[in-house]
Amino acid sequence: MDISVVIPLFNEEESLPELATWIERVMTDNGFSYEVIFVDDGSTDRSMEVVRNLAAANPAIRAVSFSRNYGKSPALNVGFKRAQGDVVITMDADLQDSPDEIPELYRMIKEEGYDLVSGWKKKRYDPLSKTIPTKLFNATARKVSGIPNLHDFNCGLKAYRNAVVKHIEVYGDMHRYIPYLAKNAGYRKIGEKVVQHQARKYGHTKFGLDRFVNGYLDLATLWFQSKFGVKPMHIFGLFGSLMFILGFIAVLVVLILKIVSINSTTYHFYVTKSVYFYLSLAAMVMGLQFFLTGFIGELITRNSPERNNYLIAEEINHTPDSSK
Ligand code: UDP
Ligand code: MG
């Protein structure tokens, strides 16, 4: 099978028939063998009924439905697990992304050897309140992820080599950072294609302003995971040591000043009035806490089933037979 199209949807009943017909037309025009996987993320409108009818009319259409609204990332995750096509395309259900982009995305993966191609809505049809924060968000994501060539991390329209979607785990709200997840999994050939974007035709956006706060927090989490996920002691141990040394120096200062003042008749030193006393207390307690956090982090990673998951690119073995 050439292509799997994975479409997460949450209350998009009006758009679905048009979207399905459009995809079908593109696929038959280009002679692709394909499947469409609709993932209904707990819609409360008639979306699933519409999907059921579409699937009855076209055997290439499959569907999964959540019992409640879990979010776009879980929906993608479930779609990815089921995708069988060589190239997996994700697309929003609201007709903001155009299925006409599919053939070129497919070609970039197949012929130009990209692992992942992300759409770039260069000209957006969204309100300013969304486009300006999005620019800032993408600039930060470029820096933190070390993928300098992407302008639009969160574009719903993306294409992947099948292996990529099987080796990344999208959860929470991490769909905003799939290119970063792919890079961390070792897929480095990440490209971009300018795509057409349209104003939402039906319904309304499913994400509020909290997307920006959560987006930044998730980025911090990902950065931390990719840097220190399997070796938390490397960061907490460092902070802990620095703090502890600082506290230790402060204790020495307090001691020396006290000894000096004991032996002096003119100089009076009160330990509890000294800034060094409080500094030593605070720094040593914090240092110890950093250390303990590091140890606990190490114990957790030791128990993590992921700790020895390496993605092997190639392996050469000689069986006794082949060396003869
Ligand atoms: N979506 C989803 N679950 C959610 C929120 C959104 O499956 O909890 C789907 C939604 O139906 C659409 C896509 O994710 O197909 C993108 O959502 P939306 O168009 O609201 O986001 P925007 O384009 O405003 O960023
Ligand atoms: Mg949209």
Scanning the structure block, which residue is given the tokens 């038959």? 28
pLDDT for 9 equals: 97
Distances (CA, A) of 321 to 290, 314, 316: 55, 20, 14
pLDDT for 298 equals: 94
83 pLDDT higher than 90: yes
- Ligand 2 centroid to Cα of residue 120, in Å, is 14
Mean pLDDT of 19-29: 97
- Strand residue runs (E) in 121-260: 158-161, 190-194
199 φ, ψ to 5°? Answer: -65, 150
Using the CB atoms, write b or e for 146-178: b if 16+ within 10 Å. Answer: ebeebbbbbbbbbbbbbebbeebebeebbbbbb
pLDDT for 320 equals: 79
Instruction: Say how many C-beta atoms besides its own lie within 10 A of residue 34's C-beta.
Output: 23
- Ligand 2 centroid to Cα of residue 94, in Å, is 6
Distances (CA, A) of 136 to 90, 143, 216: 24, 11, 10
- Ligand 2 centroid to Cα of residue 95, in Å, is 8
Helix (H, G, I), strand (E, B) or coil at 130: helix
pLDDT for 97 equals: 95
β pairing state of 158-161 and 87-90: antiparallel
Ligand 1 probe mutation, 5, 37, 72, 95, most atoms within 8 A of CB: 72
pLDDT tens digits, 259-305: 999 999 999 999 999 999 999 999 999 999 999 999 999 999 888 88
| Contact residues of ligand 1, CB 6 A cut-off | 8-10, 12, 41, 69, 71-72, 75, 92-94, 96, 156, 205-207
Cβ distance 52 to 63 under 8 Å?
Answer: yes
Q: What is the CATH number of domain 3-228?
A: 3.90.550.10
323 pLDDT higher than 70: no
pLDDT for 132 equals: 87
pLDDT tens digits, 122-145: 988 888 888 888 899 999 999 999
Confidence band of 229 (pLDDT split at 50, 70, 90): confident
Which tokens hold the place of 255? 């001691």
255 pLDDT higher than 60: yes
Mean pLDDT of 173-200: 94
List the shell of residues around ion ligand 2, using CB closer than 5 Å.
92, 94, 96
Looking at every residue in the chain, the average pLDDT score rounds to 93
Q: Whose CA is nearest to atom 10 of ligand 1?
A: 9
324 pLDDT higher than 60: no
Cβ distance 181 to 108 under 8 Å?
Answer: no
